[in-house]
Amino acid sequence: MAVHWLIVVTIIMVFFQAYLFKKWGLAGVSYNRYFTQNAVFEGNDTEMVEEIVNRKLLPIPWLRLESKMSSHLSFNKQASLAVLGDQFHRSFFSLMAFQKIRRRHKLTCRKRGYYQLRTASISVGDPFGIDQKSKTVNLNSDLIVYPKLLPIDNILLPTNSWQGDIIVRRWIMDDPFVFAGVRDYTYGDTMKSVNWSATARTGRLQVSKNDYTADHKIMIYLNFDETEDIWKSIKDEDLFEKGISYAASIAEYTISKGIPTGFGCNAYIDDPLERLKKRKDSIRIEGKNGKGHLMYILETMAMLRIDRSMNFNHFLQEDVERKRRDTDILLITTFVSETMEKHIRTLRVLGNSIEIVDLNQFKTRETINQDGPSVGEQHG
């Protein structure tokens, strides 16, 4: 008889503790998640930090956290962490009364993008797994992954313009500029350009300026058209990812040399909150200097969607209609149509210089690398 009562009491206790955890298991539980770096470059590592707190007397035997993650954020394997189907990040915790746990996860950012991690699901249950309770918590964990920067020596720039009288590399190399006054120091200016007399006179760091940097600026244009048919989807997305990286590398270098640099393309920003907009605006960031301006360009590039807002012919036509002047334009494209050539000629007449970079060169270089070393390399 005593054994029967023991069984009954045990069953009652088991179901009572199940009820207890279902009713109060999530009470006093809070969760926070953030990145140690909110912006990194493609290929670099960062850390995602999780903080879970149990602010009550009742301990939690197990707690499971689940959130949807991009497969482009690669986690190091840990015993308490799992990534399921390259989409769901799952963490397990066990908390005592009034305990706080902070856990760090190292991850590698494998692709450019803007990653929004806004929700997570928390589940708790009793030790016997009879019942569990879940809730969704709102988070504000965003991560920006800038395009990968290439060494400037690895970038194949054209040597001459179509007229043959303007060397593109003058944009990114020191030239004997004509002195034309002074200006305030900005990010990228070298110490040898500092005008100490003007600095002492004004009380602010001043550098010598020249006619070229005062009158000209660089615009880096990236054409996302594979053909003139805007309704055809982009097939080679990896090629345009390389184009974004190429443009970012040039922008970083020219701005670091104190040259006003801008960026434009006929793609659009991939903002999840505005995907229902009927019209996607193309990108045109006018040329400026400074580290803040560079970060703005890189952030915009990180958020670009591999798609088109308009045909590139119309993109160039906007410059013609606005009568753009005194700009050095570096156009990165897979082809040049007759209409594009017409707009390019008009922009040159307006006083702009335009250089063409063939984006297909990446395909050629990859093919050469895959074919192996050349004959000279084989025989050393």
pLDDT in tens, 138-184: 888 899 999 999 988 777 776 543 333 333 444 444 444 444 567 77
What is the mean predicted confidence (pLDDT) over 365-379? Answer: 40
Highest mean pLDDT among 9-13, 153-157, 291-295: 291-295
Phi and psi dihedrals of 14, rounded to 5?
Answer: -65, -45
What is the mean predicted confidence (pLDDT) over 346-375? Answer: 70
Give the per-residue pLDDT at 283: 94
Give the per-residue pLDDT at 176: 43
Q: What does pLDDT average to over the chain?
A: 79
Who has greater pLDDT, 83 or 187? 187
Give the per-residue pLDDT at 188: 62
pLDDT in tens, 318-350: 999 999 988 999 999 999 999 999 999 999 999
361-371 helix and 237-256 helix, angle to the nearest 10 degrees: 110
Who has greater pLDDT, 139 or 278? 139
Residue 19 has pLDDT above 70, yes or no: no
Separation CA 29–CA 52 (nearest Å): 7
What is the mean predicted confidence (pLDDT) over 79-93? Answer: 63
Helix/strand/coil (H/E/C) assignment for every residue in the chain: CHHHHHHHHHHHHHHHHHHHHHHHCCCCEEEEEEECCCEEECCCEEEEEEEEEECCCCCEEEEEEEEECCCCEEECCECCEEEECCCEEEEEEEECCCEEEEEEEEEEECCCEEEEEEEEEEEEECCCCCCEEEEEEEEEEEEEEECCCCCHHHCCCCCCCCCCCCCHHHHHCCCCCCEEEEEECCCCCCHHHECHHHHHHHCCCEEEEEHHHHHCEEEEEECCCCCCCCCCCCCCHHHHHHHHHHHHHHHHHHHHCCCCEEEEECCEECCHHHCCCCCCCCEEEEEECCHHHHHHHHHHHHCEECCCCCCHHHHHHHHHHCCCCCEEEEEEECCCCHHHHHHHHHHHHCCCEEEEEECCHHHHHHHHHHHCCCHHHHHC
What is the mean predicted confidence (pLDDT) over 361-372? Answer: 54
Residue 317 has pLDDT above 90, yes or no: yes
Give the per-residue pLDDT at 168: 40
Residue 258 has pLDDT above 90, yes or no: no
All domains of the chain, ordered by start, with CATH? 28-146 (2.60.40.1530), 152-176+216-371 (3.40.50)
| Percent of the chain whose predicted confidence (pLDDT) is above 90 | 37
Least confident span in 195-199, 206-210, 256-260, 358-362: 206-210
Give the per-residue pLDDT at 156: 72
Separation CA 313–CA 344 (nearest Å): 10
Separation CA 323–CA 325 (nearest Å): 6
In contact, 188 and 258? CB cutoff 8 Å? yes
Least confident span in 37-51, 71-85, 139-153, 189-203: 71-85
Place of tokens 């270098």: 253
Residue 7 has pLDDT above 70, yes or no: no
The pLDDT-based confidence of 9 (bands split at 50, 70, 90) is low
Give the per-residue pLDDT at 371: 46
